[in-house]
């Protein structure tokens, strides 16, 4: 994820976005730092609303390799403290990139087709002279679903493709936030023929994987899908 600081601020601390299915784990997102100020240490709380994620791992990145990170659970949030390993250096020189990679598991009761807001609070950032600075904070989102699964049934199938066609030709109803996110597979800001083609490939792959047919190696490398959409009467619904 690329995050840009606002014109009014020289330093930004941002949470990246991600997605995953309820009851499953191994999903990750990053904490990003964009700084014009040399930074010595950071303390912040990370929380998700609604409370549907459990942190299973926290890893430093190439940008934060000279730091140590300590975590503690505090009132439904996870508190992070990052300081240089020797307490002196190296510091975060002006740069931009991920400083933490966080792996989570999604609660089985999370509502598919919705999202949790990933936010930071109680943020304390110190510059090289131990003076406090106030970075801009940017929230992230964790979607409970997956790209291509527009109607959300934990699969990518024909129903998703048809809903994406409706969205592409602006046929009502207007896509929900989740449908827009899930249908924009190539993340270019809209649902178009490219996304529909990708969804068709995903749907065929899902059917093949789920049914697990016994076929020859040659037949596994061949196949196609075609959907002809006829004109429908104005009073058609469903």
DSSP structure class, residue 188: S
Q: Which pTM value belongs to this model?
A: 0.81
Residue 87 burial (C-beta neighbours within 10 Å; 0-12, 13-18, 19+) = exposed
Q: Which of 132, 100, 130, 124 is nearest to 14 (CA)?
A: 100
Quote the pLDDT of residue 222. Answer: 47
Mind listing the pLDDT tens digit of every residue in the chain (238 residues)?
Answer: 434 333 345 899 999 999 999 999 999 999 999 999 999 999 999 999 999 999 999 999 999 999 999 999 998 899 999 999 987 778 999 999 999 999 999 999 999 999 999 999 999 999 999 999 999 999 999 999 999 999 999 899 999 999 999 999 999 999 999 999 999 999 999 999 999 999 999 998 765 555 444 334 444 444 555 555 555 556 555 4
SS (H, E, C) 8-59: CCCEEEEECCEEECCCCEEEEEEEEEEECCCEEEEEEEEEEECCCEEEEEEE
Closest to 173 measured CA to CA, from 182, 163, 183, 181: 163
Half-sphere exposure of 133 (CA within 13 A, CB side): 22
**Closest CA relative to residue 200, chosen from 171, 229, 231, 236:** 229
Give the whole-angstrom CA distance, residue 9 versus residue 140. 19
């Amino acid at each position: 994820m690329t995050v840009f600081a606002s014109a009014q601020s020289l330093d930004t601390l941002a949470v990246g976005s991600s997605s995953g299915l309820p009851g499953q784990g191994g999903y990750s997102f990053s904490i990003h730092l964009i700084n014009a100020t040399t930074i010595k240490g950071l303390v912040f709380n990370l929380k998700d609303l609604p409370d549907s994620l459990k942190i299973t791992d926290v890893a430093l990145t190439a940008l934060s390799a000279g730091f140590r990170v300590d975590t503690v659970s505090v009132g439904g949030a996870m508190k992070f403290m990052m300081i240089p390993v020797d307490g002196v250096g190296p510091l975060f020189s002006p740069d931009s990139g991920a400083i933490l990679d966080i792996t989570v598991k999604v609660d089985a009761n999370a509502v598919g087709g919705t999202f949790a807001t990933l936010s930071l609070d109680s943020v304390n950032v110190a510059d090289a002279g131990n003076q406090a600075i106030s970075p801009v904070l940017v929230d992230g989102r964790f979607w409970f679903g997956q790209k291509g699964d527009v109607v959300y049934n934990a699969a990518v199938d024909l129903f998703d493709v048809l809903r994406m066609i409706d969205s592409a030709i602006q046929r009502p109803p207007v896509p929900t936030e989740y449908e827009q996110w899930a249908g924009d597979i190539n993340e270019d800001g809209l649902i178009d023929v490219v996304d529909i083609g990708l969804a068709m490939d995903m749907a065929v792959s899902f059917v093949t994987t789920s049914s697990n047919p016994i076929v020859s190696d040659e037949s596994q490398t061949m196949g196609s899908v075609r959907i002809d959409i006829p004109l429908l009467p104005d009073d058609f619904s469903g």
